[in-house]
Each structure stands twice: as C-alpha cells, then as structure tokens.
C-alpha cells in the first residue's frame, strides 16, 4: 500500500473512531461521573451524551436513509443547518430536564456550554465550513479538564489527531480545523462561572 493509501486508511480510522457521537458518549459519561462524585452522575452524563451526540447522529442516519446526504460527514456546508438546529433543540431539551431534575451542576454546565458552542458553529457555518468534529473533540477534552483534572488536557493529542484526519481526508482546511478546535476549547469557559 502506498504512503498516501496508508495515510487515508489511518485518517479514516481516526475520524470514524473519534467521531462526535463516540467522543461525546465517553466524555459526557465521565463529566457526569465527575460532577456527581459517584455513579449517580452516570445517568445524567448519558442524558448529556444522548442530547449532544446520539440524537444528532440518529438524525443524520435518518436523513442518510432518505437519501438527503451521502454519509455522516455532510461535507456540503449548505446542508448542515438542519443538523445544528436538531442539536440545539436536543441540547436545550436536555438542559431543561437537567434543571428540572436537579442534575449535578457540572453536567448542566457542560450541556449548556455545548449548546453555546453549537450556536457559534451554526453562525460560522452560514459563511464558512468550520470543522464540527474538531470542535467536539476539543470541547470534550477541555470540559474533562475543567470537570475532572487538568491531566485530561493530555487527551488533546486525540483532538489533534481528529484535526489531522479531517485535513488528510480533504474534508477541511487546516484553518477550518483550528477554528473548530478553538471554538471547542472555549466551551470550558462555562466552568469559570460555576
């Protein structure tokens, strides 16, 4: 296999394994656990993962089944607005349930922070194709660092791998992944107000 073929294979594996729904599932469970200090945070973390990653991924798969999009990446920027609106609605619903259910503050902050990040991504996407995968990977690392320990920032290597994979596959430019990662990292700012 040629170097380019190997690079593409590795980039595809990275982008598939570290896709937003997977990163959000693990990340939000860990944030829920840290927020509650025990296992009771896991259901809240799962709710956060459901609203932030699993519902949107399900929507994308549903639209793919209808033939709206060719794959989960939705590479055409002009087709992304409905996805962002589903994410905003889902995160908003999750945050409301968390408020009504008296969820631990950390998981609520993470959910609201992801809602704010999605609003920024939607606004930028109106004129430029920012990398959502890079934003999510960076956001989860930053949120884990804020909720757990700064040692989680070492997982930034995984976020960098996501950025690299998106560029290597030709889905984004370096600038689009850097902008996405910066927007994601800014989500941890929500913990400054806790």
Q: Are 69 and 52 in contact (CB under 8 A)?
A: no
Residues 34-53 as b/e (b if ≥16 CB within 10 A, e otherwise) read bbbeeeebbebbbbbbbbbb
Neighbours of 20 (CB within 10 A): 25
pTM over 0.85: yes
pLDDT for 45-64, tens place per residue? 999 999 999 999 999 999 98
Contact 107, 98 (CB under 8 A): yes
Residues 162, 15: contact at Cβ < 8 Å? yes
- Of 3 and 96, the structure prediction assigns the larger pLDDT to 96
Q: Average pLDDT, stretch 12-31?
A: 96
CA–CA separation, 188 vs 33, rounded Å? 17
Helix (H), strand (E), coil (C) string for 104-155 = CHHHHHHHHHHHHHHHHHHHHHCCCCCCHHHHHHHHHHHHHHHHCCHHHHHH
Banded model confidence at residue 1, pLDDT cuts 50, 70, 90: very low
Map tokens 């809240």 to a residue.
44
CB 144 within 8 A of CB 155: yes
- Each residue of 69-105: pLDDT tens digit? 777 778 788 888 999 999 999 999 999 999 999 999 9
pLDDT digits (tens, 9 = 90+) for 132-145: 999 999 999 999 99
């Amino acid at each position: 296999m040629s170097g380019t073929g190997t690079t593409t294979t590795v980039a595809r594996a990275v982008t598939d394994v570290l896709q937003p729904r997977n990163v959000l599932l693990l990340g939000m469970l860990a944030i829920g656990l840290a927020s509650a200090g025990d296992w009771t945070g896991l259901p809240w973390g799962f709710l956060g993962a459901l609203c932030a990653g699993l519902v949107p991924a399900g929507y994308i798969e549903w639209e793919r089944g209808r033939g709206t999009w060719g794959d989960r990446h939705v590479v055409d920027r002009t087709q992304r607005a409905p996805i962002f609106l589903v994410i905003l609605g889902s995160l908003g619903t999750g945050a409301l349930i968390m408020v009504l259910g008296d969820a631990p503050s950390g998981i609520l902050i993470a959910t609201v922070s992801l809602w704010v990040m999605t609003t920024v991504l939607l606004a930028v996407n109106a004129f430029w194709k920012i990398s959502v995968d890079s934003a999510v990977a960076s956001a989860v690392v930053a949120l884990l660092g804020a909720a757990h320990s700064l040692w989680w920032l070492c997982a930034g290597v995984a976020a960098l791998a996501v950025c690299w994979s998106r560029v290597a596959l030709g889905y984004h430019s370096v600038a689009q992944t850097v902008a996405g990662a910066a927007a994601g990292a800014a989500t941890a700012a929500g913990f400054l107000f806790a």
